[in-house]
Amino acid sequence: MTLLVFSVWGAGVDEFPQKTEDGWTLPPRATQLRCGGAFWEEDDGPEVQEYVLSYSRGFEGGFELGAGLPFIASDPPAGDSQTGFSDLRLYAEVDIGQHLFFEWESPVDALSFSFAFYPRFGRSAKKFEIYDRTAEVTLNTTQDLEAHEVAIHGNFGVVWYDDTFEPVGENVESALLLRLGLSRPFAKGSVGYADLAWQENPDDNDHTDLAQFGGGVRFPTVGGMSVDAGLWLGLTDPTPDLQVAVGLTRVF
């Protein structure tokens, strides 16, 4: 039995509510529109809302391009953070499985390489992450376990920062990341999923890494759209204790 797995555009903290990306790219000439939102409370008190509107399109040869625009608000403002647009997100993904293996049997069902770049945009309001990102590179895989009707997704990569640890003036540069997920279809084309996201703390002065666990449900609606909703639990102090997230996607 072939699993029904919805492609999730992009990966990382900007994606709601599923943060793990599968290894598939959009089919040629397919377009995906997605909007998502996450809601949480920072340790120092402000209630935060972050929204992302994204667009991506598939091209020949297993290639995908996309862009996302985040908007963030907090009540009251957290430090120097203000309500407004945050850094733009430019995104590219290539299906390297079909180019690497050709007639040989692939070790996984889907394998892709993705790159995201975060140019400065607007007032750069996003200060709720530990530091300002500049780029992220991930290798994405998906394997269907048909006997169990479950798909396993994995993202392995690096995120680069362009920031400074102010108390000592040290530059913050890069950190490893790992995201693992499971998804399983159930009634009427719906999909349930669970994800574990880990990232090395880019600050050498803080040895507490970022870790979150989350899960949710995605189900189809009218007009070719799908809706998903989920929760994320913070497993370490740098991450919010609880995030509630929703998303709306249409592929056409």
What is the per-residue pLDDT for 49? 83
Q: How many CA atoms lie within 13 A of 242 on its CB side?
A: 1
Residue 126, pLDDT score: 45
**Dihedral sign for Cα atoms in the order 31, 215, 68, 222:** positive
* CATH number belonging to domain 31-251: 2.40.160.40
DSSP the chain: -----------STTSSS-----S--PPTT-EEEEEEEEEEE-TTS-EEEEEEEEEEEEETTTEEEEEEEEEEEEES--TT--SEE---EEEEEEE-HHHHSTTSPPSSSEEEEEEEE----TT----SSSS-EEEEEEEEEEEEEGGGTEEEEEEEEEEEEEEEETTTTEEEEEEEEEEEEEEEE-GGG-EEEEEEEEE--S-TT----EEEEEEEEEEE-GGGEEEEEEEEEE-STTS-SEEEEEEEEEE-
The model's pLDDT over 174-219, given as tens digits with 9 standing for 90+, comes to 899 999 999 999 888 899 999 999 999 887 777 788 899 999 999 9
How do strand 225-234 and strand 242-251 relate by DSSP bridges?
antiparallel
At residue 3, the pLDDT reads 29
Average pLDDT over the chain reads 81
Q: Quick one: average pLDDT of 33-40?
A: 88
Q: Does residue 29 have a pLDDT over 90?
A: yes
Decide if pLDDT at 125 tops 70: no
Average pLDDT, integer, range 127-151: 82
- Tell me the whole-structure pTM to 2 decimals: 0.84
Percentage of the chain modeled with pLDDT above 70: 81
Residue 112 is predicted with a pLDDT of 92
State the pLDDT at residue 106: 63
Q: What is the pLDDT of residues 46-94, one digit of tens each?
A: 788 888 899 999 999 899 999 998 888 777 665 555 677 777 889 999 9
Whether residue 185 contacts residue 207, with contact meaning beta carbons closer than 8 Å, is answered with no
Q: Is-contact 132 173, C-beta < 8 A?
A: no
Quote the pLDDT of residue 246.
92
β-bridge mates for residue 49, sequence order: 39, 73
- Sorted by where each begins, the domain ranges of the chain are 31-251
Lowest-pLDDT range of 2-11, 18-27, 138-147, 188-197: 2-11
Label residue 4 by pLDDT band (50, 70, 90): very low
